[in-house]
Amino acid sequence: MKFGSPRFWTLRLVIAGLPFLPACGGVGEHRFNDQENNSPAAPPTAKSGGEATPSRADERPIATVAGEAVYADDLYAWMSELAGGTVLEELAVSRQVEKELATRSLKLEASDIDAERRNMAVGTDHKLTDAELAVALRRVQQARGLGPSRFKALIERNAGLRRLVRDEVQIGEADVRGEIDLKYGPRTRVRIIVTPNESDAIAARARLDATTAADRSKRFAEEAALVSFDPSASRGGEIEPLSTADPNYALSVRQAMTNLAPGELSPIIRLENGYALLLCEGFVAAVTPPTGAEELARTRVRLREERVAMERLARKFLQSAQVTVFDRTLDWSWNARRGEGR
């Protein structure tokens, strides 16, 4: 199966939205030093001997602006600079996935594509009708800024990557139990402040220590809005009830949380990228997992582990793709993806 249109590397697809994988450095060669490798110039209207050549009147415009025609080469350089490197990365990985599937004599089935569409729309916790799925996928597509061609290629590329890694992913019972505990086990309601340096965290805690217990939650929310750089700052530091099994939070945060009583502030917690302060606001009791919870948890763990393996394989494919960029404007975008200037 070809991932997307066979005319993927055409002008009309250069400005589609976001990639599946993060940027990776150190890939490919760059041969663009000659002036001839610049973006296409407008075609001449006559040869040196006066012989007529096809003029722009013979070209089909791709748009009009204030009644004037716009041609593909009018936009090429800007479109290449805008997103050419992103699209070239996607194409490189897609082709590497195709080759690897063929090498292993693997074939994507319609069921693989359908499963990937559902994974992208809702994960595993909800059952959707076909009509509901179509609506959910449109929302995902719009949120990621992906046009129809690139969105289709993204789903196919992900399905191919998942097919390549799924037999390698092993799920342990401890992982499944942890997933069940995360969803149904006891949790703590906390607010969090994260600061870039310790002095800011110490100062915030000193101000909060001076408040009464009754006023502390309100003052903590105000402090979070002022000094925290965590995404929860706009909500006054409020986050979803936190489980000790939640791997999305640092172990130091989860350990500090377990020793807090309602209304109590944590000590200053050192993180990899800053310092944190917690306020305990209460507890959420554990609930009995419903029928089928274990199988659902197993599926969620598998999808998460497959995603990690897919991203690792995509980076490997991109690094081995031997990309050579000849066009100057595309090369600029390619290097910008890697934080390199030319």
Q: What is the predicted pLDDT for the residue at 129?
A: 87
Percent of the chain exceeding pLDDT 90 equals: 70
* Mean pLDDT across 145-154: 94
> pLDDT for 228-281, tens place per residue?
999 999 999 999 999 988 888 899 999 999 989 999 999 999 999 999 999 999
Contacts made by residues 212-220, CB under 8 angstroms, sequence distance 24+: 213/263, 216/263, 216/265, 216/279, 217/191, 217/263, 217/279, 217/281, 220/191, 220/193, 220/279
- What's the pLDDT score for residue 259? 87
Res. 51: pLDDT tops 70: no
Examine the pLDDT at 38 and tell me if it is beyond 50.
Answer: no
pLDDT band, residue 54 (cuts 50/70/90): low
pLDDT at 341: 54
What's the pLDDT score for residue 62? 93
pLDDT digits (tens, 9 = 90+) for 12-22: 222 233 334 43
Contact call for residues 56 and 41 (beta carbons, < 8 A): no
Share in percent of the chain as helix, strand, coil (round to 5): 50, 10, 40
The pLDDT value recorded for residue 58 is 78
**In this predicted model, what pLDDT tens digit does every residue of 205-229 receive, in sequence order?**
999 999 998 899 999 999 999 999 9
pTM of the model: 0.69
E-assigned strand segments in 98-257: 187-195
Q: 55-74 burial string, b = 16+ CB within 10 Å, else e? A: eeeeeeeeeeeeeeeebbbb
Whether 173 has a pLDDT exceeding 60, the answer reads yes
Per-residue model confidence (pLDDT) at position 122: 74
Cα distance between residue 95 and residue 97, in whole Å = 5
CA dist., res. 8 & res. 177, Å (int): 44
In angstroms, the CA 113 to CA 123 distance is: 14
Q: What is the mean pLDDT of the chain?
A: 84
Number of Cβ atoms within 10 Å of the Cβ of 109: 12
Q: Helix 293-319 vs helix 148-165: angle between axes, to the nearest 10 degrees?
A: 100
Provide the pLDDT confidence category of residue 46 given band limits of 50, 70 and 90: very low
Q: What residue ranges do the domains of the chain occupy?
A: 11-43+55-168+301-336, 186-284
Q: Which fold has domain 186-284?
A: Chitinase A; domain 3 (3.10.50)
Sequence-distant (≥ 6) Cβ neighbours of residue 123 within 8 angstroms: 300, 303
